[in-house]
Structure 1
Amino acid sequence: MNNEIVSNAMEMVKARIGISTSVRDMYLQEIIRSVVTQLEQEQGLSLKSGNSYHLMFIVDFSVWRYQNVDESGAIPRHLQFRMHNLVITGGGNDVQS
């Protein structure tokens, strides 16, 4: 697992949710790690720490997991499409930020 991606995503997830303290850091970090693990192990992606497309997908997916209270667990369509595109292209754009 790429720890640089996890730490970069952590700061962005906290900013997106509006958390400025470290109270929920452990919980958020586990959500982000589970997203990265799912993408790498289940979807077979090779995530790159400098790829902004990868990072923003991890952030958006992690925020959705954190905020999701829907018992059906239905992933939003925009995340489905983006994950599908990542899998089809083998990891998305190779644009380095």
Structure 2
Amino acid sequence: MDEQIKATLLELLKLDLGFKHTARDTYLNKLLPSAEKELIRKGLTLDMNKDDDQMLVVDYAAWLYRNRQEYQPLPRNIQIRIHNRAIQKAGTSNVIQ
């Protein structure tokens, strides 16, 4: 992932969480790739040049941050987006022509 995308993701995550300072940037910079890897382990194929994939990673990372102390179920809107992406992947053909 290039540096510009990393900076954009960090800024979006900080906006989502309401942070205006840099005190948690180190933690958040580790959380974002972790969230991306978790989504990939769920079977998703992500293109970090696409806005919707960036937002899915940011939303998932924000949920991970908010729920690091105690577990809360994944919000329905994120569940639906993950499910739809998995269905979209399953509907594409892997046949080489």
Q: TM-score, normalised by structure 2?
A: 0.75
- Residue 21 of structure 2 corresponds to 21
Equivalent-residue separation in structure 2 for 1:3 and 1:44 (angstroms) = 22
Name the counterpart of 2:46: 47
- Gaps of at least 5 residues in structure 2 are 90-97
Q: Is the 8 A contact 2:44 2:82 kept in 1?
A: no
CA distance in 2: counterparts of 1:60 and 1:16, whole angstroms? 8
Structure with more contact order per residue of length (Cα contacts < 8 Å, sep ≥ 6): 1
Corresponding residue of 1:8: 8
Deviation of 1:80 (Å)? 0.9
- CA distance in 2 between partners of 1:69 and 1:81 (Å): 22
Between the two proteins, the alignment pairs up a number of residues equal to 89
- 1:94 aligned residue: none
Cross-structure match for 1:84: 83
Percent of residue pairs bearing the same amino acid type: 32
* Stretches of structure 1 lacking an aligned partner (at least 5 in a row): 91-97
Q: Would the alpha carbon gap of residues 27 and 70 (structure 1) be closer, same or farther in structure 2, given more than 3 Å must change?
A: closer
What is the CA distance between 1:70 and its match in structure 2? 6.6
Measured in 2, the distance between the counterparts of 1:21 and 1:43 equals 32
Q: 1:38 and 1:9 mapped to 2: Cα distance? A: 16
Q: 1:3 to 1:35 in 2, by over 3 A?
A: farther
RMSD after superposition = 2.2
CA-to-aligned-CA distance 1:19-71 (integer Å, 9 cap, x gap): 1221101111121111111122x123332122111111111111111112673
Larger radius of gyration: 2
